[in-house]
Amino acid sequence: MGMAVVPFSLRSSAGIDVSFPGERRSLICFVKEDCPTCREVMPVLAAIHNAFSDQIDVHVIGQTLEGNETLEQEFSPPFAILDDSTLKVSFATDIDTVPTVFWTDAEGKSSSTLIGFVRDEWQALCNEIVQATDVPQPDLDWASLPEWRPGCGSLSVDPLVADKLQAEAENSPLRARRIDIAVADDEVEFMFDQGFSDGLPLVPPTPERVLRMLSGTRRDSQEIVAIMPPNMGEVTVEKVAINAVMAGCKPEYMPVILTVAEAICTNEYNIHGVMATTMGASPVIVVNGPIRHKIGMNMELGALGQGNRANSTIGRAVRLLIRNMGGAKPGGTERSTLGNPMKFTMCFAEWEERNPWQPLHVERGFEAEDSVVTIFTMTSGPTLIVDQDSRSASELAGTMGLTLEAAFNPKAHFGTDCLLVIVPEHIDTLLRDGYSKDDVRQRIQEVTSRPIRDLVANEVSGTGFKREAAAAMTEEQLARELPKFKTTDDMHIVVAGAEAGKFSGAFHGWATGEIGSISVSKKIEEL
């Protein structure tokens, strides 16, 4: 509770503007009409006004216009109630309960503060005023008054308005340009017209919603998180919150979104190239660690699909950031030939508890108790790996390899990486023969190895090694076998999905290494 009333200028019900502090000591009381205790103290305030108004200012501040009128009609007080129906003075003074009374000096400093009604405290306050003014006690029958009455909650702390008041306060953390629209305009249609949307409706980012979103992080709202290509926009924490609101996120998702924003703007990840390629590449976000459960992410049934708010909106918030802060919009710098459903969203959590191996983040050097995001660049997926019949690990891993060989084109070896999402029933099959992640990778490389002569462009497909280059090779060179992936590090493996169903999934990557995009893992700094 603040111990000082902020300076104010309020209009009374008589139409007179009243300012505080004035030239005299003041008694200030905040009330609202539907509070029984406020109604109890109205005669007391009237008696104090009648006794001391020649020496002090008595300001009674009401929190609703209609309520003020009702109090004046019922009690006919000798003072006009001041209008704080905007609640800005109540909020700035940090009024938690009404009635709250302040006894201040001429500079506005409060020497006494009373909350609710305690008879002995109010009587003591009157004695204090008597001593300060040398005016006799007010005409009050103290014995007829109740010993104690609790106050009521101030309207300024009502959850329905508190966020809005905070957003409008002078010390608000919001600095983004505010766009006011006409009363008759539809907010959702307006955002479509302005090009903010990914093609789906957005949640209007009102100041109160953005402030609520900012409560999900301790970071300063104006901290620059990253510089987002291609427009090199400054991504502040506030701008992240705005796009998170539009995407439909909860405040507790903010640490994840902020970390992803930092990760995708690294040189290694190369978000400009990812969004500009005609291949339709898009970020795929995998979340590991305790935060998965804390924010309610899905890692089980339907983990890669719809239905989970955290999964869906985190991925969408990142995509909106890239669009609205980086300027990557279809037809502009985003040149995807066909587009990609993952450009709306693709974010999920790994089911670590069902993973018999090291989870992704531990495999990448983090501690098991760390919360981590890993950002991949993928062009398609998830492609189903259908195998309901293999009973051995080598057979199942062989199926995975044959399916992955189709990435880009069966003849396109050494061209990309992949993200393999293995479901629990397939995990059980692999475990029967004691397969590790590396065993799976090695088996995939083994079954996809082809002699270069089989990878040369021909009348069936013009993709592959150029015929001219192949013609210059020796028989020994043509006989050299190449696996699908340049190294086993190009096969990223996580566990997710329902307990039932032998349908794993694979995401096909984009260009790897320095000429393309390198996956990035980053620890999440939680609240």
Q: Using 50, 70 and 90 to split pLDDT, how confident is the model at 1?
A: very low
What is the span of the domain harbouring residue 83?
8-157
Beta-bridge mates of residue 507: 419
**What pLDDT, on a 0 to 100 scale, did the predictor assign at position 164?**
77
**What pLDDT, on a 0 to 100 scale, did the predictor assign at position 11?**
94
| Cβ atoms 113, 32 nearer than 8 A | no
Helix (H) or strand (E) holding 189: helix 187-194
**What pLDDT, on a 0 to 100 scale, did the predictor assign at position 351?**
98
- Mean pLDDT, rounded, for 358-379: 98
> Within this chain, do residues 42 and 135 fall inside the same structural domain, yes or no?
yes
**What pLDDT, on a 0 to 100 scale, did the predictor assign at position 76?**
96
Q: Using 50, 70 and 90 to split pLDDT, how confident is the model at 176?
A: confident
User: What pLDDT, in 10s, does the model give residues 72-88?
Assistant: 999 999 999 999 999 99
> Within this chain, do residues 233 and 142 fall inside the same structural domain, yes or no?
no
Total domains in the fold of the chain: 2
With a cut of 90, say whether residue 165 has pLDDT above it: no
Pairing of strands 100-104, 233-236: unpaired
Q: What is the pTM of this model?
A: 0.75
Residue 517 DSSP label: B
* Cβ neighbours of residue 396 closer than 8 Å, sequence gap 6 or more: 387, 390, 426, 429, 430
User: What pLDDT, in 10s, does the model give residues 286-313?
Assistant: 999 999 999 999 999 999 999 999 999 9
Tell me how far apart the alpha carbons of residues 173 and 76 are, in angstroms, rounded to a whole number: 42
> Within this chain, do residues 191 and 152 fall inside the same structural domain, yes or no?
no
> Within this chain, do residues 234 and 330 fall inside the same structural domain, yes or no?
yes
> Within this chain, do residues 436 and 376 fall inside the same structural domain, yes or no?
yes
With a cut of 70, say whether residue 3 has pLDDT above it: no
With a cut of 60, say whether residue 326 has pLDDT above it: yes
**Rounded to 5°, angle at Cα 55 from 51 and 59:** 75
**What pLDDT, on a 0 to 100 scale, did the predictor assign at position 527?**
67
Tell me if 182 is assigned to some domain.
no
Q: How far is CA 5 from CA 9, 90, 93, 109, 325, in A?
A: 12, 9, 5, 8, 41
Residue 525 DSSP label: -
- Mean pLDDT, rounded, for 462-468: 93
3-state secondary structure at position 450: strand
- Mean pLDDT, rounded, for 451-479: 94
Q: Using 50, 70 and 90 to split pLDDT, how confident is the model at 2?
A: very low
Of residues 444 and 92, more confidently modeled: 444
Tell me how far apart the alpha carbons of residues 112 and 232 are, in angstroms, rounded to a whole number: 54
- Mean pLDDT, rounded, for 451-471: 94
Tell me how far apart the alpha carbons of residues 513 and 416 are, in angstroms, rounded to a whole number: 9
Q: Is the dihedral of CA 331, 336, 338, 341 positive or negative?
A: negative
Winning range, highest mean pLDDT, from 72-81, 154-163, 203-212: 72-81
Return the half-sphere exposure (C-beta side, CA atoms, 13 A cut-off) of residue 179: 10
> Within this chain, do residues 210 and 350 fall inside the same structural domain, yes or no?
yes
Which of 468, 465, 459, 467 minimizes the C-alpha distance to 482? 465
> Within this chain, do residues 102 and 215 fall inside the same structural domain, yes or no?
no
> Within this chain, do residues 153 and 260 fall inside the same structural domain, yes or no?
no
Tell me how far apart the alpha carbons of residues 109 and 173 are, in angstroms, rounded to a whole number: 27
Tell me if 454 is assigned to some domain.
no
CATH number at residue 130: 3.40.30.10
144: tokens are: 């007829």
Mean pLDDT value across the chain? 94
> Within this chain, do residues 405 and 344 fall inside the same structural domain, yes or no?
yes
**What pLDDT, on a 0 to 100 scale, did the predictor assign at position 162?**
82
**What pLDDT, on a 0 to 100 scale, did the predictor assign at position 102?**
96
> Within this chain, do residues 134 and 219 fall inside the same structural domain, yes or no?
no
> Within this chain, do residues 89 and 237 fall inside the same structural domain, yes or no?
no
